Amino acid sequence: MSSNLDLSAFHVSTRSVAPTPAPTQPRRPWIEHWIDTVRDLSSLKATHPMMDAVIDEVDGRMIRIGDRWLADFASCNYLGFDLDREIIDAVPAYLDAWGTHPSWSRLLGSPRLYEDIEERVTELVGSEDALVLPTITHIHMSVIPLLAASGTIFLDQRAHKTIYDGCQVARSRGAAVRRFRFEDPDHLDELLRAERDPTRLICMDGVNSMTGNAPDIRAFAAVAREHGALLYVDDAHGFGVIGERAPDETSIYGKRGNSVVRHFDESYENIILVGGFSKAYSSLLAFLACPTEVKDLLKVAAPPYLYSGPSPVASLATVLAGFDVNERRGDELRRALAGLTRRVLDCLERLDVATPNTSGFPIIEIPLRDHTRIAEVGNFLYDRGIYVTLAAYPLVPKDEVGFRVQLTAANTEAEVDALNAVLAELVDRGELRRASEGPLHGAVIG
């Protein structure tokens, strides 16, 4: 019997399999290989209350799982827009006007709301133009291969998995991929200097989803321009949180939440910025800030614009209402968010706990002293009413296993104090790495 499944891709040999004693359960090498690869994560998922959880109820940033209430530090709703009464109340009028879902592909037709969003995001980030698509993942998978064509991609060694996957698609269409060291513009410069291919695309993150730090965009932009390369930056976690600096800013995050390029006072020359509304704006939409020429090309060449279903009207509504709230109250919310984050970072400093976060931005990764203790530490946090993201192997390398704390403007000081008390208990138990023991091996991946 022939099969069109290419099992060689899964590194499994089907030739040397011994006769199967019990024919009732046929071998399934493709799934067995993957089960083996993700065994640690899979067993954690099956047994740990902080994995694959069913959330029964929310009350502010408290969540109920079964009969237990926990303070949520795993949400990416940085500005608290998911709970904002003004935004919630704005939705029904949009549903009345447009129905629940514009079920055309964007090429076929888009409600005017899309034009409004593209105009407003263009004005906010200060780019030449912008295109919106349902998610950043859609953008990476379709746009990276188009921008790279059959040229060379220079990929940040620790780029987010969705960027990496976009580069894999590009590779399958003829692009070459080279990796440069994380946060190392000099290494990128070296690779570009040695490269003869004239088509060069650099792909990297803005605010890193695990370290919470931003790359030195000025240095990377300078390298890109010097070598005639295009710099493609995914600022999923920075958009809405950080923005342009100004003397009257309410916090070190800057003003307006208009993302990493503006935060570093850079222009968009040779830069394409990707951002999403699914984190700080609590919606389901993403954008690409780019020249109009690129936008026009993507409208006929990027498959999600041509073939994918669009975002629901409620998501378009919450983006538009989110712009209004961001304009009027965003900087106050960022001030509160920066304050809550500082409260945790000060506590970690007092406790001499290591974290890669040096920025003060609201993503705080806390690595464990012993990676095999992830389940126990997770249970300890859970039992004390603290909900975080477990950074288990293989999501991160074994020496970087730990947990990620994210703050949002909807968290309260009381919730943060409860978190800090539990962190002190973990220190007493010797579970966390000491900052005074020296720097971490490197930043953890997103």
Ligand X SMILES: Cc1ncc(COP(=O)(O)O)c(C=O)c1O
Q: Phi first, then psi: what are they for 372, rounded to 5°? A: -75, -10
**Can you name the residues that pair with 68 across neighbouring β-strands?**
65
- Residues in binding contact with ligand X, number by CB under 6 A: 14
> From the CB of 286, what's the least distance to ligand X, in Å?
5
> From the CB of 34, what's the least distance to ligand X, in Å?
21
Site string for ligand X, 313-342 (x = CB under 6 A): ------------------------------
Piece of 83-91, 231-239, 303-311, 365-373 that binds ligand X (CB under 6 A): 231-239
Nearest to 408 by CA among 385, 388, 382, 383: 388
| Member of 77, 152, 162, 341 binding ligand X (CB under 6 A) | 162
**Which residue, chain included where needed, has tokens 């190392």?**
184
Element (H, E) at 68: strand 68-72
Report d(CA 178, CA 156) in Å as an integer: 9
> From the CB of 414, what's the least distance to ligand X, in Å?
28
Nearest to 330 by CA among 20, 44, 81: 81
Nearest to 146 by CA among 125, 126, 131, 161: 131
Does 446 help bind ligand X (rule: CB under 6 A)? Answer: yes
Element (H, E) at 35: helix 29-37
Does 286 help bind ligand X (rule: CB under 6 A)? Answer: yes
The DSSP-derived string for 143-197 is HHHHHHTTSEEEEETT--HHHHHHHHHHHHTT-EEEEE-TT-HHHHHHHHHH---
Nearer to ligand X, 217 or 422 (CB): 217
> From the CB of 125, what's the least distance to ligand X, in Å?
16
> Per CB under 6 A, which of residues 89..148 are in contact with ligand X?
135-137
Nearer to ligand X, 162 or 408 (CB): 162
Piece of 216-224, 233-241, 260-268, 383-391 that binds ligand X (CB under 6 A): 233-241
Report d(CA 338, CA 254) in Å as an integer: 10
At what angle are helices 313-351 and 413-428 packed, to 10 degrees?
50
**Can you name the residues that pair with 244 across neighbouring β-strands?**
255
Does 276 help bind ligand X (rule: CB under 6 A)? Answer: yes
Q: What long-range pairs does 51-54 form, CB within 8 A, spacing at least 24? A: 51/390
| Member of 40, 84, 156, 234 binding ligand X (CB under 6 A) | 234
Does 209 help bind ligand X (rule: CB under 6 A)? Answer: yes
Nearer to ligand X, 160 or 334 (CB): 160
> From the CB of 284, what's the least distance to ligand X, in Å?
8
Q: Phi first, then psi: what are they for 355, rounded to 5°? A: -150, 145
> From the CB of 276, what's the least distance to ligand X, in Å?
4
Q: Is 245 helix (H, G, I), strand (E, B) or coil?
A: coil
Does 160 help bind ligand X (rule: CB under 6 A)? Answer: yes
Piece of 18-26, 188-196, 230-238, 287-295 that binds ligand X (CB under 6 A): 230-238
- Cβ count within 10 A of residue 311: 26
> From the CB of 84, what's the least distance to ligand X, in Å?
20
Neighbouring C-alpha atoms within 13 Å toward the C-beta of 412: 9
Nearer to ligand X, 236 or 410 (CB): 236
Nearer to ligand X, 137 or 213 (CB): 137
Does 236 help bind ligand X (rule: CB under 6 A)? Answer: yes
**Which residue, chain included where needed, has tokens 């020249």?**
291
Site string for ligand X, 12-41 (x = CB under 6 A): ------------------------------
| Member of 142, 278, 389, 406 binding ligand X (CB under 6 A) | 278
Residues that bind ligand X (CB under 6 A): 135-137, 160, 162, 205, 209, 234, 236-237, 276, 278, 286, 446
